[in-house]
Amino acid sequence: MFNSIRYFNEISTINFENLEKDFLKDPTRIAEYVLGVSDELRKVGLNIIKESLEMMNQFLKESNKRKNDWVVEKNVRKQLITSLGAIDYTKTLFTNKDTEEMCYLLDRIMELSSHERITEDAEAKMLEEAVQTSYRRGGEAVSPVDNVSKQTVKNKLHVLRFPEENYTGEKKVLDYLFLDADEDHVSLQFRNEKGDLVVSKNGYKNNGMITKLVYVYEGIEKESPKSTRHRLINPHYFCTGNNEKTNEEFWDEVYRYLDAHYDLSKMKKIYLNADGGAWIKAGKRRIVGITYVLDEFHLQKYIMKMVRHTMDSMEDAKKEIYDSIRKKDKNDFRQVVEKLHDCATTEQQHKRIDEGKDYIISNWMAAKLRLTKRDTIKGCSAEGHVSHVLSSRMSSRPMGWSIVGGTKMSELRAYYYNGGNMLELVRYQKEDLPKAAGMEMEYISAAQINHYRNGERSELAKYSECMMHTLTLDAKKKAWFNGHIWGL
């Protein structure tokens, strides 16, 4: 850290004084003052980190343990992008005496993969931005002054793995629990590789995929006592696409969350609010005890389809349909449908009536529950949540995905809205990477450290009041680092 201290004393302090002088001359320019101080502090930080990296590399070159198996090949100038900025530093390429493997041992100790040029903190910032806006902005967010390409962001996204939740706390005891489910339709640039979209006989490309959304919540409450807006109580989101999980695996993931957090044996009902899609109904069969309820949005949508042609009698027709669903059976409902057909005059009107009839008949009990269990069933907000969680990033503006990209982004959106920590996610990607076996710490004598620093200490005598503890600290640094020199 000698050079960093020198830089701070000889350059930074002068720069800080000049910045303060300019601010005192014109106090309206506080923005320039803040930005100038921030930039100077960033430079000091980058110098400190650079020195630490080069110091560790020097420890490797001096290590007796390393010399047993590895020889110095050459010193190379490299750049590492951090959330503070880019660091240009020198590291050493070593060659193994037995296997002739060539390796930057410093990278191995820091668990940086081959040719990695982005640190975990910068990658976390990249994901935090990319999950909200775009690949391009994610690349720009890695540090204040440096960026990476949107292709790099995409490559990082495509290989993301997400951790399974490991909750071991006390299970909640509730009477009712609610699941809402819906999907977003996403456009594809290609499915697996460019040029693989096929045009059907009808002239349509197979350039669409669905991203699935399920969220669990304990109820609904007002945002504040006097507010007219409501919010979900303890929501938890699950998302996936066509690539990562089968439908059964996706619903099994939902069940594991329910079973870990709630005492299902004491629960009266778990309501699944949805539009009746095939993949959603599969959830009812996959999770025992779920009661499927048709969401109000789609029920109203199809009823409006059926009565649109009745003009002035529309409200009466709607009431008759609702009453037949709420209080009667399918035959009574079919009789109402026949009356609507009698009033229809065009083929299109007849078609809309039949579409509505088929939809409601196929979801009959779910529609009846929606209209009869108002005291316990909550309104379904799936349409709004699809827009908020998925569409706002993936389909509300013209954009195209691959199946892998669309799937991974949907999962990253769920991770983000569940309050996931991006730095922990980045580190999780490395959990399964093999590490070399540990080795005993190499202890360095004070005499060796003193010899190593003698040249620098004479040059920096004027800073001695800042460095009274240098010898002891250097010994500790070298001992700490050598504890991480594995069986190289």
pLDDT exceeds cutoff 60 at 445? no
Mean pLDDT, rounded, for 214-218: 96
CA distance linking residue 273 with residue 284, whole number of Å: 11
pLDDT computed for residue 448 by the predictor = 45
Q: Quickly state the pLDDT bin for 244 (edges 50, 70, 90).
A: low
Mean pLDDT, rounded, for 167-187: 93
Q: Quickly state the pLDDT bin for 320 (edges 50, 70, 90).
A: very high
Q: What is the dihedral of CA 83, 89, 95, 100, to 10 degrees?
A: 50
Contacts of 370 (CB under 8 A, 6+ apart): 293, 294, 295, 296, 299, 377
Look-up of token digits 């690539």: 243
Mean pLDDT, rounded, for 150-172: 93
Question: Cα dihedral sign for 269, 275, 281, 287?
Answer: negative
pLDDT exceeds cutoff 90 at 431? no
Pairing outcome for strands 269-274 and 290-294: parallel
pLDDT exceeds cutoff 90 at 301? yes
Q: Quickly state the pLDDT bin for 284 (edges 50, 70, 90).
A: confident
Q: Quickly state the pLDDT bin for 473 (edges 50, 70, 90).
A: low
DSSP string, 300-357: HHHHHHHHGGGGGGHHHHHHHHHHHHHHS-HHHHHHHHHHHHHH--SHHHHHHHHHHH
Higher-scoring residue by pLDDT: 205, 237: 237
Mean pLDDT, rounded, for 37-46: 94
pLDDT exceeds cutoff 50 at 409? yes
Look-up of token digits 């057909």: 341
pLDDT computed for residue 312 by the predictor = 86
CA distance linking residue 416 with residue 425, whole number of Å: 10
CA distance linking residue 297 with residue 367, whole number of Å: 11
Q: Quickly state the pLDDT bin for 177 (edges 50, 70, 90).
A: very high
Contacts of 194 (CB under 8 A, 6+ apart): none
pLDDT computed for residue 433 by the predictor = 55
pLDDT computed for residue 483 by the predictor = 65
Whole-Å CA distances, 473 to 14, 214, 476: 28, 54, 5
What does pLDDT average to over the chain?
Answer: 87
Give the domain ranges of the chain.
2-113+433-482, 123-158, 176-421
CA distance linking residue 354 with residue 348, whole number of Å: 10
pLDDT computed for residue 464 by the predictor = 43
Within a 10 A sphere around the Cβ of 344, how many other Cβ atoms?
17
Smallest Cα–Cα separation from 409: which of 91, 180, 179, 184?
Answer: 184
**Per-residue pLDDT tens over the stretch 91-147:** 999 999 999 999 999 999 888 887 889 999 999 999 999 999 999 999 999 988 889
CA distance linking residue 257 with residue 242, whole number of Å: 21
Q: Quickly state the pLDDT bin for 441 (edges 50, 70, 90).
A: very low
pLDDT computed for residue 465 by the predictor = 46
**Per-residue pLDDT tens over the stretch 69-96:** 999 999 999 999 999 999 999 999 999 9
pLDDT exceeds cutoff 70 at 155? yes
Instruction: Enter the DSSP assignment of 183.
Output: E
pTM of the entire structure?
Answer: 0.83
CA distance linking residue 91 with residue 74, whole number of Å: 9
Amino acid in the structure at residue 121: D
Mean pLDDT, rounded, for 18-24: 95
pLDDT exceeds cutoff 60 at 338? yes
pLDDT computed for residue 375 by the predictor = 80
- What proportion of the chain, given as a percentage, has pLDDT over 70? 88
pLDDT computed for residue 468 by the predictor = 43
pLDDT computed for residue 438 by the predictor = 35
**Per-residue pLDDT tens over the stretch 362-408:** 999 999 999 998 788 888 888 999 999 999 999 988 889 999 999 99
pLDDT computed for residue 440 by the predictor = 36
DSSP string, 398-466: S--B-HHHHHHHHHHHHHHHTT--HHHHHHHTTTTS--PPP-------HHHHHHHHHHHHHHTGGGGGG
Higher-scoring residue by pLDDT: 257, 448: 257
pLDDT exceeds cutoff 50 at 428? yes
pLDDT computed for residue 474 by the predictor = 67
Listed range (235-239, 271-275, 387-391, 438-442) with the worst mean pLDDT:
438-442
Q: What is the dihedral of CA 418, 419, 425, 428, to 10 degrees?
A: -70
Look-up of token digits 């007219």: 228
Listed range (17-26, 111-120, 258-267, 472-481) with the worst mean pLDDT:
472-481
Higher-scoring residue by pLDDT: 410, 432: 410
